[in-house]
């Protein structure tokens, strides 16, 4: 099926060329970071993780969200998802690739990365995170490729794929749970020491991931005419609403426990995120309030069924994605580290170099996604499974 990559319009090649140029440009920033060290980032002694690890966390969620298509399709035989399921699986592949890269760019000694496997350490959550991410990547590549190949040949997928699909459903939950355990098992980091962390991660993943998928598919529909199907979009939007409601609810649970218990350590990160420190709003506070507004605005546009199917759907999804990204991609790390372990405050702001490196990883993710989706779209077109 790889030959499909070499068929396409001028714009397809221009898009790939653009991505490659962005990647090469950002690689320069990474080379600078390799040379001078992580000192080029905004991280410091107290805020020892920053943008890279938060993006890693966010995209583990995006990867896990493929399960929101797979589960209804395979467990509940919801056939209307079958047409776009491959796009979810391939998006998961791209997302896991990004996760791996975000970890690599965050390492101080990336050339020693193999030490995690050479000296396996079962008491470290990071060890399990590596295993589940590699496993999930393999599962999605195999399942996606084999089912697409079967579709191309217009035969039923081989029987041995089914158990792998069921495994991938459980596995998807495990990758984000283990990622949450990276944070939730650390003593002395008040914002993270909460049993609901994994549940929050999953709920935010299951609304934001499918939302990103739908938005990207809308773009694809505009560019190629591929239609995921009206009912499928409607159902997925419904899933997104439920997940987002649960996500907001879980965050409110955190607020209740922190503020009703009145324990300073638990209130401080939330106070800092929304209220800043010393009478002044932190830069992240503006983002956090924007996230609150966008979260509720997106719910207002998504909960009424007639609005959910209207032309406002993309707008609602964009706001939802931004809100969840701010919560998990900024607030999580800054809330955990900026109120530091001395009950003081150490500010953090990513530097230009750091943002450039992160954009480079985004571009690689987009490149992987573009190539994989290109194959899928070609196959769908060949077998007339392209639109209603």
Q: Which residues bind another protein (CB under 8 A)?
A: 36-39, 41, 43-46, 48-49, 103, 106-110, 112-113, 115-116, 118-127, 130-131, 182, 185-189, 336-337, 340-344, 346
Q: For residues 128 and 131, give the distance between their C-alpha atoms in angstroms, rounded to a whole number.
A: 5
Q: Crossing angle for the helix pair 85-106 and 51-64, nearest 10 degrees?
A: 160
Q: Which is nearer to another protein, 145 or 272 (CB)?
A: 272
Q: Which is nearer to another protein, 7 or 35 (CB)?
A: 35
Q: How far is the CB of 286 from another protein (least distance, A)?
A: 23
Q: Crossing angle for the helix pair 197-224 and 230-261, nearest 10 degrees?
A: 150
Q: How far is the CB of 188 from another protein (least distance, A)?
A: 3
Q: How far is CA 345 from CA 192, 277, 282, 340, in A?
A: 16, 8, 11, 6
Q: How far is the CB of 96 from another protein (least distance, A)?
A: 18
Q: Which is nearer to another protein, 157 or 347 (CB)?
A: 347
Q: How far is CA 237 from CA 200, 291, 296, 303, 307, in A?
A: 19, 20, 16, 10, 11
Query: Which is nearest to 125 in space by CA: 54, 181, 86, 174?
Result: 181
Q: How far is the CB of 340 from another protein (least distance, A)?
A: 7
Q: Which is nearer to another protein, 44 or 235 (CB)?
A: 44
Contact 16, 370 (CB under 8 A): yes
Q: Which is nearer to another protein, 60 or 299 (CB)?
A: 60
Q: Which is nearer to another protein, 235 or 340 (CB)?
A: 340
Q: Which is nearer to another protein, 68 or 139 (CB)?
A: 139
Q: How far is the CB of 341 from another protein (least distance, A)?
A: 5
Q: Crossing angle for the helix pair 313-326 and 283-302, nearest 10 degrees?
A: 150
Q: How far is the CB of 135 from another protein (least distance, A)?
A: 10
Count of Cβ atoms closer than 10 Å to residue 158 Cβ: 11
Count of Cβ atoms closer than 10 Å to residue 17 Cβ: 10
Q: Which is nearer to another protein, 74 or 192 (CB)?
A: 192
Q: How far is the CB of 377 from another protein (least distance, A)?
A: 29
Q: How far is the CB of 52 from another protein (least distance, A)?
A: 10
Residue indicated by tokens 């969840």: 324
């Amino acid at each position: 099926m790889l030959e499909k990559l070499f068929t396409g319009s001028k714009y397809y090649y221009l898009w790939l060329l653009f991505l490659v140029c962005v990647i090469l440009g950002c690689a320069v920033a990474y080379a600078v970071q390799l040379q001078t060290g992580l000192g080029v980032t905004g991280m410091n002694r107290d805020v020892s993780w920053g943008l890279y690890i938060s993006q890693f966390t966010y995209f583990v969620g995006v990867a896990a969200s493929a399960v929101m298509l797979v589960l209804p399709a395979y467990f509940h035989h919801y056939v209307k998802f079958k047409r776009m399921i491959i796009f979810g699986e391939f998006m998961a592949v791209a997302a896991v690739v990004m996760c791996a890269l975000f970890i690599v760019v965050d390492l101080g000694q990336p050339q020693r990365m193999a030490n995690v496997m050479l000296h396996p350490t079962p008491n470290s959550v990071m060890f399990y995170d590596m295993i589940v991410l590699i496993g999930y990547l393999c599962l999605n590549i195999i399942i996606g490729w084999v089912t697409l190949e079967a579709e191309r040949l217009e035969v039923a997928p081989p029987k041995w794929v089914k158990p792998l699909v069921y495994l991938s459903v459980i596995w998807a939950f495990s990758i984000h749970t283990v990622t949450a355990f990276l944070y939730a098992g650390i003593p002395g980091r008040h914002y993270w020491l909460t049993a609901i962390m994994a549940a929050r991660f999953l709920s935010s993943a299951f609304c934001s991931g499918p939302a990103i998928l739908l938005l990207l598919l809308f773009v694809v529909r505009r560019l190629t005419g591929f239609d995921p199907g009206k009912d499928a979009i409607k159902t997925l939007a419904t899933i997104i609403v439920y997940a987002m409601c649960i996500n907001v609810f879980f965050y409110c649970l955190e607020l209740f426990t922190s503020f009703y218990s009145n324990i300073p350590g638990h209130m401080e990160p939330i106070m800092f995120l929304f209220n800043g420190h010393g009478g002044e709003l932190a830069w992240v506070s503006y983002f956090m309030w924007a996230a609150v507004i966008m979260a509720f605005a997106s719910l207002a546009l998504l909960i009424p069924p007639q609005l959910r199917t209207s032309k406002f759907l993309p707008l609602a999804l964009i706001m939802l994605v931004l809100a969840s990204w701010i919560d998990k991609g900024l607030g999580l790390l800054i809330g955990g580290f900026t109120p530091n372990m001395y009950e003081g405050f150490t500010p953090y702001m990513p530097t230009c170099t750091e943002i450039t490196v992160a954009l480079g990883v985004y571009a690689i993710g987009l490149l992987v996604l573009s190539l994989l989706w290109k194959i899928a779209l070609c196959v769908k077109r060949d077998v007339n499974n392209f639109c209603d």
